[in-house]
Amino acid sequence: MMQRKLALLLGISAFTVLLILRWGREMTLMNTDTPSAEPALQPWQRAPADTITPIPGSKHLMVSAFKDHRRGGAIRVISIICRQELQPLYCVLCANDHANANVDGSASTDANARPNAKANGALGQCASSQAKVDMHSDNFGFPFVTSDVFCTGESLKQATHISLTTDQTAIHNLTFLLIQNQKVKESFRYNFTICISNLFGDYNNALQFAQTMEVYKLIGVQRVVIYNTSCGPDVDKVLSYYRREGMLEVVPWPIDKFLTPSTGWKYDLHHGDIHYYGQLTTLNECIYRYMYESKYLLLNDFDEIIMPYKHGKLDKLMDTLQQQHPDAGVFRIENHIFPKTQFEDSGRFRLPQWRDVPGVNILEHIYREPDRKNVFNPTKLLIDPRRVEQTSVHTTLKQFGPDVAVPFDVCRIIHVRVPLQGRLSKDQLFVDKKLWEFEKLLIPSIDHALNQSDLL
């Protein structure tokens, strides 16, 4: 009995010693630009799926971090700043000796994977410095505004992770972001990627979503990125199918867990903390997320299709536009409304297999509202992301080089939605059957997508 007790005590003692030794290896001394009372940094805290993180000691939020080689390697942290409660912010930059292979922000072999946000053990070689906040100019009157928080200094060269704080002396248990875009790339995984800013309000327009995705494929889109706050059960099935297929990346966007999002674009009318569920933040985040993944980005909503009318394919469109405007990286595309209240008379595309699928059948809506010469027609954007610093919804805010208004007959948006000129009768609208040109390939592909989504 005594021998058993002695063996048990020896085992416990050995285990304790091993824990102490392991803990000692993982604790690293801080090497800071600014002296700190805290000598070491604990293992960082962050789940890989997190996309919004509170900044300690403030109402501000940080989203993601990227090295911006156009600014001499400065770290740009896409953030949401409460402009009524500004205070000094500090960057804490650290290097992780055991960082995973995706630390440079390069694409994984998994089509839906992003760089893993969890470090292997503790972070060391840390430095802190004061941050510079650049709030975007288009806040639409809302108290929380999309912002870039910049971190600069010699310590950036080896940094792999970053956190923001209001107190540079209290750096224990901070949440750290992986610094993406560590390397400049000259070749890209995708030619055309679409950034869809938000799904919210239990959006369940499954038929239109599947139809639109299949049109995207036919005009040359290889990737779609969508920021999802909430969607309905049928759209969720469609999202799952396109994620499995590899065309879609769904980025969780739980903005409603942190702020009261507005369902509209103007503070005086719609109120809330932030414009349209953080639409401006997600568009800017997508630009940097895919800066070295995609040659071009299309920034539009889920009910819009940027359609190359003259060329039929996006690659042919962009070849022509870049030849005509070699210094331009921003192309503004006119928006045109196809009222979902006006139906094509023959019922040619009122297909029985789609009858029970919730949503709008875009092939039935071929009537286009005329331009109103005295009313501003908002555009959407087709961009080279490496030539854009900041964007709004309808125009860029900061860019390198000129922007170009693309002529109506070359490319325009098919936007199937509620009418803006609801008093117009059908004979006052223009007939536009561009989508019908894809009929032979489009119908079978939509059926396949809905079948794979368990909606047929």
Per-residue pLDDT in tens (0 to 9) along the chain, 456 residues: 444 444 545 554 544 444 444 433 333 333 334 433 333 444 344 444 579 999 999 999 999 999 999 999 999 999 999 999 999 999 999 987 554 333 344 433 344 444 433 334 456 678 889 999 999 998 889 999 999 999 988 777 789 999 999 998 877 788 999 999 999 999 999 999 999 989 999 999 999 999 999 999 999 999 999 999 999 999 999 999 999 999 999 999 999 999 999 988 888 888 999 999 999 999 999 999 999 999 999 999 999 999 999 999 999 999 999 999 999 999 999 999 999 999 999 999 999 999 999 999 999 999 999 998 888 888 999 999 999 999 999 999 999 999 999 999 999 999 999 999 999 999 999 999 999 999 999 999 999 999 999 999
Q: Give dist(CA 119, CA 359) in Å, integer.
A: 42
Residue 337's DSSP bridge partners are 415
* Cβ(65)–Cβ(163) below 8 Å: no
Same structural domain for residues 383 and 417?
A: yes
CATH of the domain at 260: 3.90.550
* Cβ(215)–Cβ(138) below 8 Å: no
Does the residue 65 lie in any domain?
yes
Q: Tell me the pairing of strands 367-368 and 430-431.
A: antiparallel
Q: For residue 44, what is the DSSP state?
A: P
Q: For residue 242, what is the DSSP state?
A: H
User: Side-chain half-sphere of 90: how many Cα atoms within 13 Å?
Assistant: 20
Task: Indicate the residue type of 391.
Answer: T
Chain position carrying tokens 């704080």: 165
Q: For residue 265, what is the DSSP state?
A: S
* Cβ(92)–Cβ(160) below 8 Å: no
Residue 179's DSSP bridge partners are 65
Does the residue 7 lie in any domain?
no
CATH of the domain at 78: 2.60.40
* Cβ(381)–Cβ(331) below 8 Å: yes
* Cβ(407)–Cβ(310) below 8 Å: no
Q: Select from 180, 209, 229 the last residue of a domain.
A: 180
Output the pLDDT for position 11: 52
Same structural domain for residues 96 and 203?
A: no
Dump the DSSP string for 87-155.
Answer: ---EEEEEE-TT--TTTT-PPPSSTT-------SS--EEEEEEE-EEEE-S--TT-SEEEEEEEE-SGG
* Cβ(381)–Cβ(399) below 8 Å: no
Q: Which helix (H) or strand (E) holds 212?
A: helix 206-219
Q: Select from 129, 162, 180 the last residue of a domain.
A: 180
Output the pLDDT for position 37: 33
* Cβ(43)–Cβ(122) below 8 Å: yes
Same structural domain for residues 132 and 241?
A: no
Which residue range(s) make up the domain with 345?
190-452
Same structural domain for residues 288 and 401?
A: yes
* Cβ(171)–Cβ(40) below 8 Å: no
* Cβ(272)–Cβ(170) below 8 Å: no
Q: Give dist(CA 236, CA 288) in Å, integer.
A: 26
Q: Which of 399, 401, 434, 400 is nearest to 416 (CA)?
A: 434
Output the pLDDT for position 123: 64
- Terminal alpha carbon distance of the chain: 70
- Number of domains making up the chain: 2
Same structural domain for residues 195 and 245?
A: yes
